[in-house]
Structure 1
Amino acid sequence: MRMISAKIRVLGCTATLALSIGFAAAAHAQTAARPTFTSVVAGSDEPDDIVVTATRRDTSLQKTPMAITALTGQTLTNAGVTNIADYAKFVPSLRIQDNGPGQRRVSLRGVQTSGEATVGVYYDDTPVTGSVGVSSDAAGRTADFTLFDVSRIEVLRGPQGTLYGASSMGGAIRVILNKPTQAYEGKIESQIAGTKGGGLGYFVQGMVNVPLVTDLLAVRAVLYRRDADGYIDNSFLNRKNVNDYTATGGRLMVRLTPSSNLTIDGSAMVENTDAFSASWNPAVGNYKSATQVMLPYTDRSQIYNVTGKLDLGSASVTSITSYQHRRSAYAADDSYYIGSYRTAAKCSAYVNASGGAPCSAGQLTSYYGYIDSLTPAAIYYPGSTKDFTQEVRISSNGTHLFDWTIGGFYQNRKNEVTSEDVRADKMSGDIITPNQIFYRREIFDQLEQYAAFGEGTLHPTSTIGLTAGIRYFNYNKTVQGFTDVAWTLIGAPARALSSVDSSESGTLLKFNASWQASADMMIYATASQGFRPGGANQVIGLSADLTPYRSDSLWNYEVGAKLGLFDRKLTLNLAAYQIDWTNIQVSGRTPNGAFSFLSNAGAARIRGVEAEAFVRPTRGLQLTFSGNYIDPRLTEDQVNASVVAAGRVGDRIPYIPNWSGSAGAEYTAPLSSRLDFFARADFNYVGSSFSEFRPASVYRVKMAGYSLTNVRVGVDLKESDAGVYLFVNNLFDAVAINRASQSSTANSYSATSAAPRTIGINVRKSF
């Protein structure tokens, strides 16, 4: 009860502070015209009206010849979306393996393996990168900021290589933030909720927009804090709700408009996350963990950006300068792996060398004592990522006989990561501080790349568009590492600093043809390429031929249609595609299982269909449907013998369900001149998938299909510009596992999942 009271006090104090800021902004604006309040329960924009910038030019969503899902800020607010895992369910073919904050793997259309990201993630025009880690797996640690005060999210399905470059081979996600305006405005939102089998959670967030100099300078500030007690119990340590989570952050945005044709936007985004692992062990029980160590996760993420746009009339020049700095640390339980060495055979190999005589009784006792002294232990991975990017592009304005975009891009990304084994307290499971290190390896990874790109569309008639694009890229990757604290038990001797370089250059192509058959019908066809960089492994004992790995690439062939039917009461978007993926980057492990690395093996063919439907049968009611079928299979054997459970022709790509889909209904109706009723329900289905390629693999885990249902009901108080809403997430309390894996080590069968049923209340107010 003391904990609950404390959380309510924190919530109340934070809400009071944010409300005070909002009232101050409103008071300062008393001589200005009061902005019209847009109800949070108002209907979302129709797809025909949404303007997107996916092609680097302003276009209508339904007249953009590509498979793209656009979620407006209104839709995100009404659905209670706060992060990428929340909105993924609305997008066909978008898949999230959610290992917790900052540790999410994002894929589109089944293009998913270890290595560099396969989906580009952007905040406005700033690309964000995951931390590489010791296994060069940046895709598994995609950076993620809390979503609040967002204009829209654009999800571009299919490779976007020409305009977005490397690591957009499956597609790209663009989070478009609201910019400062010449109006006084503010909003505050708070929420408190309880999760079945867990504790309370809350958030409070606020925004203030203030024009400082009329028609010249405006600022917009966002602050937020989120806290959750967790719902996973550790049965080994006898600790409850171990996966607690706290995130605090905000952003400051400044817009300078020195002339009518020049806009300069500056922004700073910061988010600090402190959490513990959300993995649990299904063999022990639902939402039960058997780790011998508490597994903390910390993340200090910052993004700074300056974007300038100069309108020259017939064309616009845009410059984007960005810098990302991310310091993070995460941990994995190494206790069971170390315990696997507590055998007579391992004693013989360690004490008397491989193939030597069995250990004597005294040797065995001494060896077992040594093993026991190491546990419990965690592998701790502190590291940092610094990423500087610069893009300059020039785009034609409007629609003419020939529309075009040309530009250049530069990136310099530096990663540092430490892998160290450290002891933990036997009773609490907490990592002992200062760290008691008995193994340490340091890795430095730098990626520098240049690119020039161009894309043009010819309109031979007013209804036909013929597009061609090309991107030239050149990158160099340098990986360095050393081991300064040796651990001979696992074959990890001390090593001096060594360095490996990898470089590559090439081109990416895109071709698209579209026909606007009528105002309500568009048909298009696309052939486009995507790729992601290769690199080099820094793994102890890895043979020279496996040290470097190359880029992988794919071709996507697609046809689609965008239709407005029944006087636009129904909007229907359809796409069918085939992806040919070659030289796939795959993850392998050294024979003793101690180290993971990347290699190239095999090829795949992915075939799929996608559908989206938006129905407006009557005023106040909106229905949305989306779904996809994906058949992702290998077309070549993964012949590299070092890859665990290497796939063979016909095997399905892991973690990709054949079927998934969603349905939503949103209804608003006036209760009185002062009160509106709001109700929304969202249903999401994800089919079954597997953790390994090979059906015969003893470590293959099947993740069963699941359904999730969220419901929100509330009222909007129009005169006070406020709303109150009750919600239930995971209404039927489904056990929805989105990732599972298993190895030979005891208690290695682990999983992550959606949270159990969560019930709460949400309050919003605008000024």
Structure 2
Amino acid sequence: MQKTNVTQVATKSLRSLAGSTSLTFGLMMSALMAPAVTAQSADDSAYAGPEEIVVTARKRAESMYDVPISINVVSSDLINKLGAQDFTDLLGSVPSLTAYQNGPGRTRLTIRGVANGGGNDNDTQNQETVGIYLDEIPISLGAMNPEIGLFDLERVEVLRGPQGTLYGAGSMAGTVRLVSKKPNLEEVEGLVELDASDLKYGDQSYGVKALINAPIINDVLGVRVSGYYTHNGGYLDNVTTGEKNLNDGSSKGVKVAARYQPSDNFTADLSFFHHEYSDNGRPEDLDSTPLFSRDYVSFDGYDDEMQIFNATFTVDLGWGELISSTSYFDRKVINPRSLDLLFELALPPGITPHELVDTTDLDVFTQELRLSSTTDSPFQWTVGAYTDKKDTYYLNTFPVPGADAIIGTPSSAFGAPDDHLFYGYDDLTVKTFAFFGEAYYSFDKFTVTAGLRYFNWKQDIEFYQSGLFNGGANSDPRPRGKTDGVNPKLNVSYDISDNALVYAQVARGFRYGGINGAIPEAVCADELAEVERQGGDVRFFNPDKTWNYEIGAKGRAADGKLSYNAAYFHVKWDDMQTSRSFECGFGFRENVGKATSQGVELELDAQLSENWSVGFGGTYLQSELDEDVPNLNAVSGDQAPYVPELSFNATVNYIRPITDTMDLFVWLNHQYVGTRHTEFNHDPDTNYRRMDDYSMTNARIGFEWEDMEVSLYANNLFDSQGVVRALRRPPFDPDAVIRVQPRTIGVTFRKHF
């Protein structure tokens, strides 16, 4: 009942707003034409430009323009303007950052074209190529990266290129860091944000966010509490069941952070974060008439719940800073998948289709201890040790009520529970430890940076597979997987001036290997006979690695009005972890193939006057195989899947004082994503699908006071129907697509106190 009331209020407000759109825009245009209360200076050069951007990419606070690597910083202001709810909403605004998307919470990030597609969402052996961190806490998980709310953040840092020295495995192509705001020990502050919107073809969305910061003991102890709830309207209709807007969903979260600083030499930061997300269906469109429709009967909604605990202690030693970060992270994901087409083709009449249900339980403990220099010496260094333990229990079940009676054979004859066409689990334990160090020395205008990381990885797994679709039961034991090695980095930079530098870097990235499950010969014998697995024990696949070579330039004009960040990169990817999928529904990974990704990244931001600012970011890259890969029916020169050759975004921002206390702002953002495809192999008779290029425009207009904002926005203003993911793998995945969200028009109210 309460939810209905909220929806009605949001809808009524939105319709009232829509009904007075001409009046609203008329008032805003009048404000645009009116003279500013404070006369603009005749000499615009007196404007000092934007504030310094501080990052902690190298695990120390520095100006972004002093760090000789390619970094994109998404400010909290840009997050607000985009209306971004999670990191997937940032994809179009960060050059070189792309993704393999299967819906919210089922996204695999890629940077600089290091991508080979494929793989199941829940596969415990999915190894990420981009690390995701919430402050000090690694939270990435293969193809199921958590879509946590982007609220109460200082910024999002996207570090492009391998970050293996400081961030370790899983950051072989780059790292995304979500940097939270810390408790303020000096003053009370708070924020309330309300949002309501309407989707074309769909339902209404609404959300509320709030935070409160309070010093408990002034300058010594403070607490910061924030929370959010968002309901996302659906826009897909089921033409078979008649269900409307079936892919609606909601997310909610709360974070409690405390900072204790009894002296200038010691700080303790404690935090707890809880997040939940659920929806009622994947956003898969049949790619036919009518638009935004599907005919699957089975339920494929998604549930994701997690808790993160962290304790970080910082000790100022005078000559250095000692930091200890301890984290515990638990997460449970229920990820159903429709297999209705399989029922039609492979099972007798009378069986009601039912979804395959994947459940993943994850428990992770991490500990990092590092020591960094803080003197004024030209020689600066960071050394540290890291360890983690990850326990994953993955349950893969295919319950079909009444199946045993209709088929005439009990599931127990195939080792599965009653009425289960498939039943299996992976019980996985991974333990790692590493020692790392990075140092740089400055002389004249040169700085030389060198880094090294030693890593050690061990993995134990127990698994069981059974059921009719497995051809029986098996639990072929697997020995322990293990590996170790070192990761180097070398960087040389030259200060052209106090505000500009150029650099050259070579760095190696890596990710761990894993253990292949058994492929049942009873159902896959023919395909197994046609494939030759290359090298070593076929039960394992080994780590793969990238060598990244790049040159770059970054800086800003002396008056701060223009800033730039440019890089050319050349990435060699060896021993690729390549997934081979069989038509029988199983598959394996092996280290086959080499690839090269090379391209240019460019970012420009200019403050044209006190009122106008513009920004541009773009990437041109080519990512393709260097050799034939027979198991994928791919040949040298085939382009990497889901990677556009060209992508860019452009932003225009206008701010005009209306009164002594009120500003009008207009913000426009345009994004372009080039053509992509789903497979290395472009044979149209295979599962290959082409995804055409598309553009998307976002706009926001509103009023700002010192402590308040009211704005009207339109995301996907011209209602682009661009495809971000195409599917084709019958009988498991029928032809379908996932598109960008339809045009969304809404209003935001934000109040600081």
| TM-score by shorter chain over 0.5 | yes
Deviations 1:171-195 (A, max 9, x none): 0011110011121010000100010
Q: Which residue of the partner structure matches residue 19 of structure 2?
A: none
Query: Which residue of 1 is the match for residue 63 of structure 2?
Result: 60
| Structure 1 position 69, deviation (Å) | 0.8
1:512 corresponds to which of 471, 477, 491: 491
Superposed, 1:495-534 pairs within 5 Å as: 495-496=474-475, 498-534=477-513
- Could you report, residue by residue, the CA deviation over 1:321-340 in whole angstroms, capped at 9, with x for unpaired residues? 01110001011111212322
Paired position in structure 1 for 2:435:
452
Rounded to whole Å, the distance in 1 between the matches of 2:433 and 2:310 is 19
Quick check: 1:413 aligned with 2:390? yes
State the partner residue of 2:647: 660
Which SS does the other structure have where 1:230 is aligned? coil
Change (3 A) 1:403 1:755: same
Identity %: 31
Residue in structure 1 matched with residue 621 of structure 2 by the alignment: 630
Check 1:2–1:474 CA distance in 2 against 1; reply closer, same or farther (3 A cut).
Answer: closer
Query: By how many angstroms is 1:683 displaced?
Result: 0.5
Matches within 5 A, 1:300-379: 300-341=305-346, 371-379=348-356
1:26 corresponding residue in structure 2: none
Deviations 1:414-438 (A, max 9, x none): 1111111123799xxxxxxx99633
Q: CA deviation at 1:598?
A: 2.0
Structure 1 residues 116 and 436 mapped into 2: Cα distance closer, same or farther (>3 Å)?
Answer: same
Residue equivalent to 2:232 = 228
Following TM superposition, by how much is the alpha carbon of 1:573 offset from its aligned partner in structure 2, in angstroms? 1.3
Q: Which position in structure 1 is the counterpart of 2:568?
A: 576
Q: 1:756 aligns with which of 742, 745, 753?
A: 742
Q: Which residue of 1 aligns with 2:633?
A: 646
SS in 2 for 1:674: coil
469 and 420 in structure 1: CA distance in 2 versus 1, 3 angstrom threshold: same
Q: For 1:496 and 1:749, locate their aligned partners in 2 and report how far apart those are by CA, in whole Å.
A: 34
Match of 2:696 in 1: 708
> 1:21 maps to what in 2?
none
User: Alpha carbons of 1:395 and 1:165: their partners in 2 closer, same or farther (altered >3 Å)?
Assistant: same
Separation in 1, partners of 2:668, 2:346: 52
**Residues of 2 paired with 1:284 and 1:375: CA distance?**
26
What residue number does 1:681 align with?
668
Alpha-carbon deviation of 1:447? 1.4
Output the CA distance in 1 between the equivalents of 2:237 and 2:56: 45
Pick from 268, 293, 299 the counterpart of residue 264 of structure 1.
268
Deviations 1:147-186 (A, max 9, x none): 1111111110000011110000110011110011121010
CA contact (8 A) 2:11 2:204 kept: no
- 2:34: which partner in 1? none
Q: Secondary structure at the match of 1:382?
A: strand
1:557 aligns with 2:560: no
Please say if residues 10 and 196 of structure 2, whose CA atoms lie closer than 8 Å, have aligned partners that are also in contact: no
Deviation, 1:746, is: 7.9
Contact persistence 2:499–2:558 (CA under 8 A): no
1:587 Cα deviation after fit: 1.4
Question: How many Å apart are 1:566 and its aligned residue?
Answer: 7.4
**Cα distance, 1:47–1:314 mapped onto 2, change above 3 Å:** farther
SS at match of 2:603: strand
TM-score normalised according to structure 2 size: 0.87
Q: How many residue pairs align between the two structures? A: 683
Change in 2 beyond 3 A, CA 1:500/1:10: farther
Partner SS for 2:660: coil
Q: What residue identity is the alignment partner of 1:291?
A: Y
Per the TM alignment, residue 744 of structure 1 is displaced from its structure 2 partner at its CA by 3.3
Shift of 1:532: 0.4
Deviation at 1:88, TM superposition (A): 2.1
**Aligned partner letter, 2:209:** Q
Q: Which amino acid aligns with 1:59?
A: E
1:717 Cα deviation (Å)?
Answer: 3.5
2:402 and 2:419 in contact (8 A); partners too: no
How far the C-alpha of 1:646 sits from its partner, in A, is 3.4
The CA distance in 2 between the partners of 1:726 and 1:241, in whole Å, is 24
Q: Could you tell me how far 1:308 is from its partner in structure 2?
A: 0.7
Instruction: Tell me the secondary structure at the aligned position of residue 85 of structure 1.
Output: helix
In 2: Cα distance, 1:532 partner to 1:570 partner: 37
* Residue 75 (structure 1) shift: 2.6
1:442 aligns with 2:405: no
Distance 1:293 1:466, change over 3 A: same
The answer to whether the aligner puts 1:277 opposite 2:282 as a matched pair is yes
Kindly provide the CA deviation profile for residues 527-576 of structure 1, in whole angstroms up to 9, marking residues without a partner as x.
Answer: 00000000101233277953211111010000001132474322121100
Task: State whether residues 480 and 498 of structure 1, in contact with CA within 8 Å, keep that contact through their aligned partners in structure 2.
Answer: yes
**What CA distance in whole angstroms lies between the structure 2 residues aligned with 1:687 and 1:566?**
35
How far apart in 2 are the matches of 1:435 and 1:296? 24
SS of 1:49's partner is coil
- Please say if 1:725 is aligned against 2:711: yes
Query: Are the equivalent residues in 2 in contact too, given 1:703–1:737 (CA < 8 A)?
Result: yes
Extract unaligned runs of 5+ from structure 1.
13-43, 131-137, 343-370, 427-433
- How far does the alpha carbon of each residue in 1:560-600 deviate from its partner, in whole angstroms, 9 at most, with x for none? 0113247432212110010000011111123x431233222
Query: Is 2:207 the counterpart of 1:203?
Result: yes
Partners of 2:575 and 2:593 within 8 A in 1? yes
- Secondary structure of the structure 2 residue equivalent to 1:673: coil
CA contact (8 A) 2:10 2:206 kept: no
1:146 aligns with 2:144: no
Q: CA RMSD in A?
A: 2.4
| Aligned match of 1:120 | 131
Alignment-mate amino acid for residue 516 of structure 2: N
Q: Does the CA contact (< 8 Å) of 1:53 and 1:59 recur in 2?
A: yes
Kept after mapping to 2: 8 A contact 1:479/1:538 = no
| CA distance in 2: counterparts of 1:76 and 1:419, whole angstroms | 37
The structural deviation recorded for 1:609 is 0.4
Distance in 2 between the 1:424 and 1:204 partners?
40
SS for the counterpart of 1:194 is strand
- In 1, Cα distance between the equivalents of 2:172 and 2:732? 37
Distance in 1 of aligned mates of 2:401 and 2:339: 10
CA distance in 1, matches of 2:226, 2:11: 17
Residue matched to 1:352: none
Would the aligned equivalents of 1:480 and 1:500 in 2 still touch at CA under 8 Å? Answer: no
Counterpart among 73, 76, 90 of residue 73 in structure 1? 76
> 1:47 offset after TM fit, Å?
6.8
Task: Output the CA distance in 2 between the equivalents of 1:711 and 1:328.
Answer: 34
Instruction: Give 2:193's aligned residue.
Output: 189
Q: Distance in 2 between matches of 1:732 and 1:399?
A: 53
1:134 maps to none
Task: Please give the secondary structure, in 2, of the residue aligned with 1:62.
Answer: helix
SS at match of 1:278: coil
Could you state the TM-score of these two structures normalised by the residue count of structure 1? 0.86
